[in-house]
Structure 1
Amino acid sequence: MTEQEKQATLDQEELVTETAAETGQEETGTASASAEAGAEDGVKELSEAERQLEEQRKLADEHYQRYLRTQADFDNFRRRSRQEKEDFAKYASVKLIEQLIPVIDNFERAITASKDNTDHEALLKGVDMIYRQLDQVLVQEGLQRIEAVGRPFNPEFHQAVMQVESEEHEEGTVVEELQTGYMLKDKVIRPSMVKVSG
């Protein structure tokens, strides 16, 4: 091989080496640019994830605060309901008491008048009026007398304290009432104490 051929081969090898070096630099630059772009994408994804996490934390905190307020409201409601129930039980009889106060006033007047007056008939008339006033108040509240005499004995309404022979009444009939029984609306609050024919 001649000197010229050797020189041409060397030149060609240098050219290939330079080209390869330039190509390597380009590939390294491309890889580096790729890595930088990937890193930027990773940072963007990470910051997006952090932003979403922060939003979820805020949302969770809002829900927790709402839960605490609801729990407090419910506790207050329960406390108010219990207090209202206690007040209702405590003052349930206010209406009845208000209606009975005038009856008490009339009794006091009758007692005062009886001390100064010897007219027993007027006193009896006054007491009878007070009795009717009291009876009217109780009837308005739903109190009613249990009818007993002449009715068949009913253990739900009557309490038999004696059994007597009677030709006028059938067996098991109430012949005499010893103590009046009362119902409040539809509930027996005191059965009639009665004698029953046997």
Structure 2
Amino acid sequence: MSEEIKEPLTAQEELLEQESKTECQSEIPADEASTEKLSEEDSSPENEEDRLRLELEKLKDTHLRLVAEYDNYRKRTLKEKSELIRSGGEKVLGDLLPVVDDLDIALQNLDKATDLEALKEGMHLIHTKFLDYLQRQGVRPIEATGQDFNEEYHEAIATFPATEEAQKGKVIDCVKKGYTLNDKVLRHASVVVGQ
């Protein structure tokens, strides 16, 4: 009987053993994983140090590249700015050459001319052409005579006793015209102010 009892027990034991083996096998990977973690943690200061070194090298490389890129950008913008200034001057002067040509023609014909009215008309045409050119460039004359004196636009070179009360503080005469370029004063108008 003891053998019979042993047999069912051994079957149960076998079942239990199989279950425990399965559990053990499923636990083994967890144990192996924890063992791997332990081994990583044991060697982690070295790995962590290496990883940090690599990260530092990457950051240094990125920093150097950004500094070089910024330096190149700065140099490029300075070069572009100087080229713009140069080419801007070329355009302004190039557009002015037709006026110079007209003045040359007028001077050549000055000695030969017999008609004074034709000379006056030619000079007026050149003057008008030049003023049109200045307006295309954004240059505008400053209104002065009869206006209230404004120190932003006018420069008082003299004062004159006003004959009427309405002329006090007003520009009586403009000695030299003033000009603005895109609303910025190029030259103040030299004026006589009523006092």
Bigger Rg, which one: 1
Partner of 2:30: none
Count matched residues: 158
Counterpart-to-counterpart distance in 2, 1:179 and 1:111: 25
Candidates 72, 90, 94, aligned match of 2:68: 72
Q: Within 5 A, what are the aligned runs for 1:82-161? A: 82-161=78-157
Deviations 1:122-151 (A, max 9, x none): 222111111111101111222111111112
CA RMSD of aligned residues (A): 2.8
CA, structure 1 residues 161+70, in 2 after alignment: closer, same or farther (shift >3 Å)?
A: closer
Deviations 1:16-37 (A, max 9, x none): xxxxxxxxxxxxxxxxxxxxxx
Counterpart-to-counterpart distance in 2, 1:151 and 1:72: 57
2:190 is matched by which residue type in structure 1?
M
Runs of 4+ in 1 over 6 A off after TM superposition: 42-49
Counterpart-to-counterpart distance in 1, 2:48 and 2:171: 87
Partner of 2:181: 184
Shift of 1:104: 1.0
TM-score between both structures, scaled by the size of structure 2: 0.66
Partner of 1:171: 168
Counterpart-to-counterpart distance in 1, 2:153 and 2:46: 79
Counterpart-to-counterpart distance in 2, 1:127 and 1:189: 25
Stretches of structure 1 that go unaligned for 5 or more consecutive residues are 1-41
Shift of 1:59: 4.3
CA, structure 1 residues 173+74, in 2 after alignment: closer, same or farther (shift >3 Å)?
A: closer
Partner of 2:21: none
1:68 is matched by which residue type in structure 2?
L
1:119 is matched by which residue type in structure 2?
D
TM-score between both structures, scaled by the size of structure 1: 0.66
CA, structure 1 residues 109+45, in 2 after alignment: closer, same or farther (shift >3 Å)?
A: same
Q: Within 5 A, what are the aligned runs for 1:18-33? A: none
Identity of aligned residues (%): 31
Counterpart-to-counterpart distance in 2, 1:64 and 1:143: 52
